[in-house]
Each structure stands twice: as structure tokens, then as C-alpha cells.
Amino acid sequence: KAGVTQTPRYLIKTRGQQVTLSCSPISGHRSVSWYQQTPGQGLQFLFEYFSETQRNKGNFPGRFSGRQFSNSRSEMNVSTLELGDSALYLCASSSLAGPLNEQFFGPGTRLTVL
């Protein structure tokens, strides 16, 4: 099985712009979660989607949003980018929602905001 894929792998944007990141889960997986990793804050949960519905959301401003399509692929969008949004954004997929189901992580998208 192919693993979780994330595109693009690297991205450079300027303040005020918006960005869309994509995540393709492992085939058959219906749950997709997003995490932000920064040197200062570490790994923080952004949100989780299951069957096109947002199940859970972390403590991030409304500039961070996401969606999931019927084929389980997910996108996350960040509007009005700030310097502090520079981070590695990781996507994880699992077959079902819930901690009993192992999450498989993708390689991440490294976003740099100038």
C-alpha cells in the first residue's frame, strides 16, 4: 500500500497570502488529521476529518480551515498568512476515527512565510 502523501513538500509564501496544502491518505482510510509542528510550540493538533465531517478541532484561529472530499483526500487552508505560521504541517490517516486505530503520518509540507 502506498503511504500518506502530502503535496507540496515545500512551500514559500509571503505574509498576507493564503495557502492550500493537500493530503492523500492511505487507500481505504477514512480519517485524516492535521498537525502543525514548530520549534517553539512543538506538535499541535489542528483538526480531524472523518467521512467528510470535521470531528475535532484544536485551538487554532479561524484562519486555519480544512475539508475532506468523498475520496478521503483532505486539504487544509491557511488564510492571511503570518510569520508564525511557518511550520512543518503533518497529515495523518487512519482507517477509522479513534485512538485504537493507528495513525500513519505523511512526510509533511514545510511552509515558510516571509
Candidates 33, 68, 72, 74: give the one binding other proteins (CB under 8 A).
33
Site for other proteins in 49-78 (CB under 8 A): 55-56, 58
Residue 42 touches other proteins, criterion: CB under 8 A: yes
Question: What is d(CA 88, CA 111) in angstroms, rounded to the nearest whole number?
Answer: 6
Cβ atoms of 32 and 93 within 8 Å: the answer is yes
Neighbours of 39 (CB within 10 A): 8
To other proteins, the closest distance from the beta carbon of 10 in angstroms equals 11
Residues that contact other proteins, how many (by CB under 8 A): 28
Under 8 Å between Cβ of 113 and 78: no
Considering only residues 89 to 108 of the shown chain, the ones binding other proteins according to CB under 8 A are 90, 92, 94, 97-108
Rounded to whole angstroms, the Cα distance separating 85 from 60 reads 11
Which residues are near other proteins by CB under 8 A?
Answer: 31, 33, 35, 42-45, 48, 55-56, 58, 88, 90, 92, 94, 97-108, 110
